[in-house]
């Protein structure tokens, strides 16, 4: 990843309430590997409900979840789970269910054996009953006696979720939980997470897909280059993401005439001809998409191509971090 200007910029924090009484608390947490900063001075506290941890690949989402799960020591700051430090404290695992993204599952175990192993290691009084409940919850009963090695990616994801749920934890941490799931499984899982949140659980899931977060989360944390770029209500952050300045690349039957026409529009603040193409700078993504066809028609110009040049999620995140 290139060194972003964001490193020294003040993050846009909509609301971060670091209440030490909440189930999850990060207090000025940083984590670095040698000279590389993976998580940079992040603070937030989460209570019951679903929070989406949004950011591009490599932003530090997994590092943050591993810090919360006590699998990494913070280089500075405190990570608290129900008031106890997450690091070097195995007792927190009674309250946490972790669904890792990359970590493998022993392929020779059946789904039922894998969930049963989790139930036994949680020292539940009736591991068999808890296993059946968790398997039914993720809708995996039909294939529970098949070896995990024969599962599809979506089924593996669900069996990992069943193992994480088996002790009915108050906190659920999920790293990219919808990867590999088909749309039906995705909807089922979203319903499941919603019902768990309604029962008072604290759920934090990571995703690099805005729509997933938008559909499920009550609040979101946006992380980019290890920094907390934004936190709060997803609607507000969504508005910031879509209403940011954009550059569009336009090809038409008469680029010069179209440039003049665009410059009379309030949503457009710049237009220049580059390499036989027209680059149009607009103040607002959605505003420009509404006027572009009308402006071209009124100017008598045929449009061949209209494409945003910086619509990668990464540029959206960078914008959020650099915006003051």
Partner 1 sequence: MNLLDIVLTIASVTARALLGRRRTILMLLFAGTPVLLGLLVRIGGTRSGALVPSLEGVIVSSVLPLVALVFGTAALGSELDDGTAVHILTKPIPRWAIVLPKLAVAGGLTAMLLVPATIITGVLVGGGGGRELGLTFAFAIAVLVGSFVYSAIFVALSAATSRGLVIGLGYSLLWEGLLSGALKGTQLFSVREYIRGMATSLAPSGALVSVVGAYGFVLAAVAIVVVAALAAWRLARYEIRAAE
Residues at the site binding partner 1, with contacts judged by CB under 8 A: 33, 38, 57-63, 66, 69-73, 88, 90-94, 96, 98, 100, 102-106, 108-109, 114, 117-118, 120-124, 127, 163
Residues 75/30, Cβ–Cβ less than 8 Å: yes
- Cβ–Cβ contacts within 10 Å for residue 8, how many? 7
Minimal distance, residue 90 CB to partner 1, in Å: 5
Minimal distance, residue 299 CB to partner 1, in Å: 47
Nearer to partner 1, 14 or 313 (CB): 313
**What distance in Å separates the CA atoms of residue 280 and residue 259, rounded to the nearest whole number?**
8
Nearer to partner 1, 119 or 261 (CB): 119
Minimal distance, residue 123 CB to partner 1, in Å: 4
**What distance in Å separates the CA atoms of residue 159 and residue 301, rounded to the nearest whole number?**
56
Cα 144 off chain centre by: 29
**What distance in Å separates the CA atoms of residue 263 and residue 254, rounded to the nearest whole number?**
15
Nearer to partner 1, 138 or 259 (CB): 138
Nearer to partner 1, 163 or 213 (CB): 163
- Cβ–Cβ contacts within 10 Å for residue 249, how many? 16
Nearer to partner 1, 84 or 290 (CB): 84
Nearer to partner 1, 120 or 277 (CB): 120
**What distance in Å separates the CA atoms of residue 100 and residue 98, rounded to the nearest whole number?**
6
220 - beta bridge partners? Answer: 52, 232
Residues 236/296, Cβ–Cβ less than 8 Å: no
Minimal distance, residue 121 CB to partner 1, in Å: 4
How many residues are present in the chain?
A: 324
- Cβ–Cβ contacts within 10 Å for residue 13, how many? 14
Nearer to partner 1, 70 or 111 (CB): 70
Q: How far is CA 153 from CA 100, 156, 159, 180, in A?
A: 13, 5, 10, 5
**What distance in Å separates the CA atoms of residue 6 and residue 315, rounded to the nearest whole number?**
11
For 314, left (φ over 0), alpha (ψ -120 to 50), or beta? alpha
Minimal distance, residue 95 CB to partner 1, in Å: 9
Q: How far is CA 58 from CA 15, 151, 207, 244, in A?
A: 24, 27, 11, 23
Minimal distance, residue 297 CB to partner 1, in Å: 47
Nearer to partner 1, 170 or 232 (CB): 170
Minimal distance, residue 34 CB to partner 1, in Å: 10
Minimal distance, residue 111 CB to partner 1, in Å: 13
């Amino acid at each position: 990843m290139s060194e972003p200007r964001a490193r020294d910029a003040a993050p846009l924090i909509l609301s971060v309430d670091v209440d030490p009484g909440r189930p999850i608390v990060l207090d000025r947490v940083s984590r670095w590997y040698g000279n590389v900063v993976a998580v940079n001075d992040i603070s937030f506290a989460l209570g019951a409900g679903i929070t989406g941890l949004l950011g591009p690949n490599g932003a530090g989402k997994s590092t943050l979840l591993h810090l919360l799960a006590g699998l990494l020591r913070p280089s500075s700051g405190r990570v608290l789970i129900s008031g106890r430090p997450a690091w070097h404290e195995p007792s927190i695992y009674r309250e946490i269910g972790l669904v890792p993204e990359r970590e493998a599952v022993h392929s020779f175990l059946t789904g039922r054996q894998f969930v049963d192993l989790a139930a036994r290691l949680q020292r539940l009084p009736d591991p068999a009953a808890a296993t059946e409940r968790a398997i039914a919850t993720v809708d995996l009963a039909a294939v529970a006696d098949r070896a995990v090695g024969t599962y599809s990616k979506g089924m593996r994801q669900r069996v990992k979720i069943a193992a994480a749920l088996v002790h009915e934890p108050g906190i659920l941490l999920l790293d990219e939980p919808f990867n590999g799931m088909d749309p039906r499984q995705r909807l089922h899982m979203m319903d499941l997470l919603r019902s768990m949140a309604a029962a008072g659980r604290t759920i934090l899931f990571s995703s690099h897909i805005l729509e997933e977060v938008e559909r499920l989360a009550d609040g979101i944390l946006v992380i980019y280059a290890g920094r907390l770029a934004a936190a709060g209500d997803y609607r507000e952050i969504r508005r910031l993401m879509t209403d940011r300045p954009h550059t569009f690349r336009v090809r038409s039957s008469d680029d010069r005439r179209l440039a003049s026409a665009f410059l009379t529009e309030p949503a457009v603040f710049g237009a220049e001809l580059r390499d036989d193409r027209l680059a149009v700078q607009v103040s607002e993504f959605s505003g420009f998409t509404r006027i572009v066809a009308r402006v071209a028609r009124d100017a008598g110009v045929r449009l061949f191509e209209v494409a945003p040049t910086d619509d990668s999620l990464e540029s959206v995140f960078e914008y959020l971090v650099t915006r003051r």
